[in-house]
Chains A and B, each alone.
Chain A
Amino acid sequence: MFGRLTIEAFKHDATQSMAVLSMLFGGVALISFITYLKRWKWLWNEWLTTVDPKRIGIMYIVVVLMMFLKGFGDAMMMRLQQAFSVGDSQGFLSASHFQEVFSAHGTTMIFFVAMGAVFGLMNLIIPLQIGARDVAFPFLNALSFWLFASGAALTLVSLAVGHFANAGWLSYAPLSSIEYNPGEGIDYWIWIVQIAGIGTTLGGINFLVTILKMRCPGMTFMRMPIFVWSCLCANVLIILAFPILTVTLFMLALDRTLGMHFFTVAGGGNYMMYTNLIWAWGHPEVYILILPIFGVFSEVVPTFSEKRLFGYASMVWALIFITVISFVVWLHHFFTMGASPYVNAIFGILTMIVAIPTGVKIFNWLFTKFRGKVHFTSPMLWFFAFLVNFTVAGMTGILLSAPPVDFQVHNSLFLIAHFHGMVIGGFLFGFFAAFTYWFPKFTGFMLDEKLNRYAFWFWSGGFLLAFMPLYMLGFMGATRRLDHYEASTGWHPLFILVAVGAVILFCGANIQFFGLFWTIYKRKQNWDHTGGDPWNGRTLEWSIPSPPPVYNFATIPTVYDRDPLWDIKHGKTAPPKKEYEDIYMPINTPIGMYIGGLSLIFGFGMVWYIWWLVILSFIAILICAIIRLSSKDEHELITAQQVKEIEDEHLRRMKSHD
């Protein structure tokens, strides 16, 4: 009746039980809060059934922030464990629990923080920067979000019911095979990543069509903001790389559930093929994460230098070059698996080449600031944190790209330090810059700048303390994923240092987290009085009210050059005429949420072998899809008169604030 699900799955050790209880408490608190405010209908109409990318983007960010808490918690547990678990002491986490923690940490951070943040930003910013009213496929957009949320939800379910995977964030075969890992953990991982991955692929198609087909008149490719270019490249990576992941996950599932022999030890299986396939996806994946961040800085740096981006064309070519190269370097993730020196050398050289376009971009940002009027706002501070940390980590990447060096430090803490420099120093600092920069656009008020600065200093200092010693530890022989080590290694002092660094990062994260609520509480003091352009921006998103009306642009702008808003503000282009037309917007639908929820049930059924649940939920998903795909195109009409009223109301509000 319940497959292999028994009461045992609900029994956990002390630490896990605490985590589960706090999660349940949080959920109950949230539901009570919404009920108390009598906001269920509002939640349903305005958020859960929306197809507006501005709303969907905010929902992505909300899930991202929640999952970031979870992933950060995993990190704190690991750092504390490693600070205490020396010699006779075994720390507070059992070995098997520790394995689940590092697997969950990586999976959560990559798929639900980083990917979610990328999609959140794309939803919020791309339509506005290209002068469009929506994305190409609004319903598909909502569906992508709900599949993403479903994966995140399944991750949280795995905390409470049974165990999560224990084979890292990529579940290498044959450790992940049914022979060596018969439990539910790997299956959770497979379906979590699979469901979220399908959402991502659909999103990639959506944003590609949006960028290619929905740019406003006059916006040729070479007049697009670089953020849009970087997302164009990231989406190309998504549509070409994610299918590889989809197939690889299916093959692993087939091995485990139907006894096939793709990656098994017996039967002629080849588990090295798993590593090969997973990294053929995995390498483009990390570029999917970082390219939009490069795009963010290409917006932030010019705005806060009051100077146009230096070397626009070379930025575009660098992005395209990185996109193509990212498909030919994947072997550098497994130099030590045993390929010949010839093979290793070729991939090593190709890997080094990717530093060139990246370097071009870094120099272009620096040249943008040269002789510009630089404002040291917090987004700009995050750029500096990125500049230093990403570049240093990038250089350690060049070290790693040499196979002889990699043989010494593969899977050591040196590697951990390198990629955390890329994802924290690169991705996360960029996301913080983006969050701070674009927050006023979607809320109408500013984040507290002082708190932002404190957060910046805590993150910068904490990051150095928490990750620089890891390079040393790597050279001293410390491997990754260690839950215990001997005192004679001499690693203990460094692990304590690193734990202190983690605590400082924790303080920084808390400042941001509570700072967000504090800002919302004090929003009346921080209203954006400029009517939508608090940073003196250069691109189209700053030309509309904050928060934007549902249709974004009352009149679709025509663009004559890059940085179109700058031209309007400096008299080179006429501002858009106030001639209003009827506007047709897509209507809300709950089907995206239904399919997401059903996918959650489907995934849960697959994990626990509850076949009737799997079949029923799958049929229900098909029915939802058929209903949706048999419906007539419907739109909501906003008359020209109503548009005029909305625009006039905004002007009125602006004047009353002065």
Chain B
Amino acid sequence: MTIEPILLKIQKEWHGTYKSYLIGFFVSFFLTSLSFFLVIAKPFSNIWIIYSVIILAILQAIVQLIFFLHIGQESKPRFKTYFLIFSIFILFIFVVGSIWVMNDLEFRMMPEMSTRGSHTHD
């Protein structure tokens, strides 16, 4: 079956390599195992485990974005990267903002349910 020349042209520009996928795999494997290990073994206090696990997740996400999704390797203008950053920015505002608002509301309006439950008001 003949391959269309335009397809050959597009294929030549492909960024991925076996190396990039394997690096991504081994680093992800390591970061995942470390997270699970920290939670199961609990080598230090809970709050630090929480922070570490979150940071490990963000690191792994970045690794997978770079090595699997080839972020940052597109030709200019780098719309994919800009949109990713902007979406995450808005997502962050929305999620953190909502958690903050709902926490505040829960404290003031549903004290029997909130973890800071109290019947006094500000």
Contacts and interface: CB of A to CB of B under 8 A. Distances in A.
A and B touch in the complex (CB under 8 A): yes
Interface residues of B, number: 19
Contacts of A212: 79
Given A240-B90, A328-B93, A338-B109, A343 B102 contact: no
30 contacts: A212-B79, A240-B87, A240-B90, A244-B94, A268-B113, A270-B102, A270-B106, A272-B106, A272-B109, A276-B98, A276-B102, A276-B105, A277-B98, A280-B98, A327-B94, A328-B93, A328-B97, A337-B105, A338-B105, A338-B108, A339-B101, A339-B104, A339-B108, A340-B104, A340-B108, A340-B122, A341-B122, A342-B104, A343-B100, A343-B104
A236 B79 CA distance: 13
A12 B77 CA distance: 58
A270 B86 CA distance: 29
Interface string A323-354: 00001100100000111111100000000000
Contacts of B113: 268
A395 interface: no
Contacts of A340: 104, 108, 122
A43 interface: no
A388 interface: no
Interface in B39-92: 79, 86-87, 90
Contact of A331 (B79, B90, B101, B110): B101
Interface in B105-122: 105-106, 108-110, 113, 122
Given A270-B102, A273-B102, A280 B108 contact: no
- Among B98, B102, B105, B113, the one with the most A-chain Cβ atoms within 10 Å of its Cβ is B105
- 4 tightest A-B contacts by CB? A338-B109, A343-B104, A339-B104, A240-B90
B101 A343 contact: yes
A280 B94 contact: yes
Instruction: Sort chain A's interface into a size bin.
Output: 20 to 34
Interface in A338-395: 338-343
Given A212-B79, A277-B98, A343-B100, 5 more contacts: A244-B94, A270-B106, A327-B94, A339-B101, A340-B122
Contacts of B100: 343
Contacts of A337: 105, 109
Interface string A234-250: 00100010001000000
Nearest to B94: A280
B19 to A, nearest CB: 30
B97 to A, nearest CB: 7
B121 to A, nearest CB: 9
A324 B87 CA distance: 11
A327 B106 contact: no
B103 to A, nearest CB: 10
Contacts of B98: 273, 276-277, 280
A582 to B, nearest CB: 17
Interface string A498-537: 0000000000000000000000000000000000000000
A277 B95 CA distance: 10
B50 to A, nearest CB: 23
A276 B79 contact: no
A272 B104 contact: no
- Among B90, B93, B110, B122, the one with the most A-chain Cβ atoms within 10 Å of its Cβ is B90
Contact of A272 (B87, B105, B122): B105
A327 B90 contact: yes
A327 B86 CA distance: 12
B105 A339 contact: yes
A151 to B, nearest CB: 25
Contacts of A276: 98, 101-102, 105
A327 B110 CA distance: 26
Nearest to B91: A240
B101 A327 contact: no
Nearest to A275: B105
Contacts of A273: 98, 102
Interface in A262-316: 268, 270, 272-273, 276-277, 280
A23 B106 CA distance: 47
B93 A272 contact: no
A338 B109 CA distance: 7
A277 B104 CA distance: 15
Given A272-B109, A276-B98, A327 B104 contact: no
A273 B109 CA distance: 12
A339 B109 CA distance: 8
